[in-house]
Structure 1
Amino acid sequence: MELRVGTLNLASGRDGGGRSVDAAGLRAALADVDADVLAVQEVDVGQPRSHGVDQPAEVAAALGASDWRFAAAVTGTPDPFRSWTPVDPPVLRASWETLTGPHYGIALVSRLPVRRWSVLPLGAGRAKLPLQAPDPRTGETRWWWFPDEPRLAIAAELEHATVVSTHLSFAPHTALRQLTRLRRWCARLPGPVVLAGDLNLVGPVPARVFGAPRLVSEPSYPAPGPRVQFDHLLGRVAASRPEVRRLTIGDHRLVTVSVHPG
């Protein structure tokens, strides 16, 4: 069996000009993405900066995904991202459910039937990161001191494999701790397991910590001219047709590969 798996940091659906596209623009940007299972990070639901779009639902629609889950790391629209309200305990929003108010987090969408979904909270670090990014209220670009958001992982147990989506801390020491916890969690999931996401760790480091090979080895960030690989697909499976491709949205490149669970 061949399973096409991918990961994409959506960056709230922002285009090259730094503005989030609307629902139609999001679907158009993803129309030719070929992935049976896609891990998506930095996903908005009902946020003013992204036109109130239900982004996980639109991503799933663009891919023709039969099922998906969204895990909110943050609820509300903080200003200026200094008062994030974490969702505790984390909740997996199913494809048929709606959310009240704005949220932000990660998603995992699947064209294939999923036997079981689960979520793992990974906590947050104490570091703050200076970034030039859109104001969550207006979309205007400015400098922010971003606190580290709560991090999560979503697992989709399929017939022949389990795919795990995550977005780890921008602080390397925290990301390494989170990845170690993820390794222990994944060891209890039905194998083989493919870890997909923006790990915020470069090159071969994540593979060594997670204990599984890189299925794609190519820079993915920043999208216009990648210099480092933050976006990883890791697993002990046969793999073919790796691809790292720039889309019209997101500040990372889309990373995909075909895996053969056996």
Structure 2
Amino acid sequence: MRLATFNILHARSLGDGQVDLDRFTAAVRDLDADVLALQEVDRDQPRSHGADLTVLAAEAMGAPEHRFAAVLHGEPGLWTAATGDHQPATASYGIALLSRHPVREWRVLKLPVLRRRAPVMWPGNRWPALVSDEPRAALAAVVQGPQGDVTVVATHLTFIPGWSTRQLRTLVSHVSGLPRPLVLMGDLNIGGDRPARVSGMRALATAATFPVSHPLRQLDHILADGPVEPVGAARAIDTGLSDHRALVVDVTY
């Protein structure tokens, strides 16, 4: 089974600054993933031509099972937190999980978020900037894969240092009762081998994913708890869009 995680930057390319939906669907199709986690996903946003990027990705990869979890609704500059069942009727932004295989159960999991502004040092700045975070969530699916059931969890953690590890520990606690084997994947905003150490899980994929043109850090991860093993080396793929590379690994379990 092929697993992939991809922070899509709402399908925008850094090369030309444009959102090209045909380019996006071709990139998803070329990943050829059986289960795909997406982050920074738009639905009904003018900047991405009003498209439902989750549905477009599902059609491109042939995934009858898919879910979108909104963490924000409204348009950029006027964001507010999503409420209710995480599927607001207005324009929204969040994460998605897609599967070619049947899904027995879906869950949306809320993660803690820092309610005050925090100092973050951006590359090239002399001084830290005070920033506010957005709500964070995870999507969990019990997938009926070709070798039996496997739980897959997709998330996008905060960029605020310290809080990303707190969110990861909380997420591990939230999924402790879900069936094993379990795979957790997404943009964790934590570099290197630290996600494996914090979560107590094993890394299935080791490859630098950020920044896209000359990746120096691995912010995107695929972790496992239980009998899941990689088949061959993982790949970090420049799809021609986003500021991240997609991370892909084939597994057996």
Correspondence for 1:216 among 183, 205, 221: 205
Distance 2:13 2:218 in 1: 20
**What is residue 23 of structure 1 aligned with on the other side?**
21
Verify the 8 A CA contact 2:15 2:240 in the aligned structure 1: no
Distance 1:29 1:20 in 2: 15
Correspondence for 1:57 among 46, 55, 60: 55
State the secondary structure of the residue aligned to 1:108. strand
Q: Which deviations, in whole Å up to 9, do the C-alpha atoms of 1:33-64 show, x marking residues without a partner? A: 11110000000011111111111111111111
Verify the 8 A CA contact 1:130 1:146 in the aligned structure 2: no
Verify the 8 A CA contact 1:31 1:63 in the aligned structure 2: yes
RMSD over equivalenced CA pairs, Å? 2.0
Verify the 8 A CA contact 1:4 1:36 in the aligned structure 2: yes
Distance 1:45 1:170, change over 3 A: same
State the secondary structure of the residue aligned to 1:100. coil
State the secondary structure of the residue aligned to 2:196. helix
**What is residue 96 of structure 1 aligned with on the other side?**
none
**What is residue 86 of structure 1 aligned with on the other side?**
81
**1:131, CA displacement in angstroms?**
7.2
Gaps of 5+ in 2: 124-128
State the secondary structure of the residue aligned to 2:203. coil
**1:257, CA displacement in angstroms?**
1.0
Q: Which deviations, in whole Å up to 9, do the C-alpha atoms of 1:18-42 show, x marking residues without a partner? A: 5342432321232211111000000
Correspondence for 1:189 among 162, 178, 194: 178
State the secondary structure of the residue aligned to 2:141. strand
**What is residue 243 of structure 1 aligned with on the other side?**
235
Distance 1:243 1:78, change over 3 A: closer
Counterpart residue identity of residue 65, structure 1: A
Instruction: Compare 145-154 and 163-172 and name the one that shifted more.
Output: 145-154
**What is residue 89 of structure 2 aligned with on the other side?**
100
Distance 1:38 1:147 in 2: 28
**1:250, CA displacement in angstroms?**
1.3
Counterpart residue identity of residue 215, structure 1: L
**1:84, CA displacement in angstroms?**
2.8
Instruction: Compare 65-74 and 242-251 and name the one that shifted more.
Output: 242-251
**What is residue 162 of structure 1 aligned with on the other side?**
151
Distance 2:11 2:54 in 1: 11
Counterpart residue identity of residue 94, structure 2: G
Distance 1:18 1:154 in 2: 31
State the secondary structure of the residue aligned to 1:218. coil
TM-score, normalisation: structure 2? 0.88
Gaps of 5+ in 1: 94-98, 133-143
Distance 1:256 1:39 in 2: 10
Verify the 8 A CA contact 1:20 1:49 in the aligned structure 2: no
Verify the 8 A CA contact 1:73 1:90 in the aligned structure 2: no
Q: Which deviations, in whole Å up to 9, do the C-alpha atoms of 1:145-202 show, x marking residues without a partner? A: 7531100000010132100000000012111110001111121111111001000000
Residue pairs, 1:109-120, within 5 angstroms: 109-120=98-109
**What is residue 46 of structure 1 aligned with on the other side?**
44
Q: Which deviations, in whole Å up to 9, do the C-alpha atoms of 1:42-91 show, x marking residues without a partner? A: 00011111111111111111111111000000010142xxx531113452
State the secondary structure of the residue aligned to 2:171. helix
Q: Is residue 14 from structure 1 mapped to residue 12 from structure 2 by the alignment?
A: yes
